[in-house]
Amino acid sequence: MLFDQRGCGRSTPYAGLEANTTWHLVADIERLRRLAGAERWLVFGGSWGSTLALAYAQTHSDCVSELVLRGIYTVTKADLDWYYQFGVSEVFPEKWERFQAPIPPAERGDLIGAYRKRLTSPDSAVRIEAARAWSIWEGETITLLPSLEISTAHGDDQFALAFARIENHYFAHDCWLEEGQPLRDAGRLRGIPGAIIHGRYDMPCPARYAYALHKAWPEADFHLVEGAGHAYSEPGILDRLIRATDRFTQMS
């Protein structure tokens, strides 16, 4: 079962931010489990989805049979600063210049906050300009090698509007998680088999957090995929995801 979280995909209102928090989504997932009539189920999440899957599994551990996570994201201040202030900027200077372009120099000390002002502007043109810049920055930095297909999709106005508004909304509120909470509460996953799959050269999500989760949750297989970035579609990552889900399917 797949679901579009509040505000994106087929969920309505599209790009809506009201009543849209991590804990609303955790409750939504649990409601879906009950509607599906599943006593326990495999939970799968990548990138922000890995954060959400961890939040759900740490809240409803008795309902999770297995947990497959890709591109581990723990939403620490260091995570956010690395991608939206200084760090990845040094690897992609020309793309970083385009990401900063909609923001006046005086506001660049807090790019998440500056983008939030524009992504919630009453002026639709301002919202779209900011959304495209935010979304394209991610679309052009999540793969080890450039992907025209991914960057083009991230530049679509409709996609970018929901992607940027919701992602920025969550990051501006630290995803309604305490600092370090996903790793701090990893002990609640004890006994749950799982897989942690992470690209060695993942730009948005530094590999050290995936490794820290592996150390805190030894029941999970850990795969640090060489020659891969962040995107699920990169061959090494996709191969490991398929292997993990096939293995758990055979076990059930």
Catalytic residue among 169, 202, 214, 223: 202
Handedness of CA 169, 175, 178, 183 (dihedral sign): negative
The per-residue pLDDT for range 88-121, each reduced to its tens digit, is 999 999 999 999 999 999 999 999 999 999 999 9
- pTM here? 0.96
Decide if 202 is catalytic.
yes
Active-site residue (options: 47, 89, 135, 147)? 47
Q: Domain for residue 102, yes or no?
A: yes
Structure confidence by residue, pLDDT tens digits, 203-230? 999 999 999 999 999 999 999 999 999 9
- pLDDT digits over 120-178, tens only? 999 999 999 999 999 999 999 999 999 999 999 999 999 999 999 999 999 999 999 99
Mark which of 139, 159, 174 sits at the end of a domain.
Answer: 174
> Does 131 lie in the same domain as 98?
yes
Residue 154 designated active-site? no
Full residue range of the structural domain in which residue 107 is found: 78-174
The Cα 204–Cα 56 span in angstroms is 22
Instruction: Give a yes or no: residue 114 inside a domain.
Output: yes
Q: Which entry of 154, 198, 214, 230 is annotated as an active-site residue?
A: 230
Give yes or no: 47 in active site: yes
Taking the CB of residue 46, how many other CB atoms lie within 10 A of it? Answer: 23
pLDDT of residue 252: 64
| pLDDT tens-digit map of 10-31 | 999 999 999 999 999 999 999 9
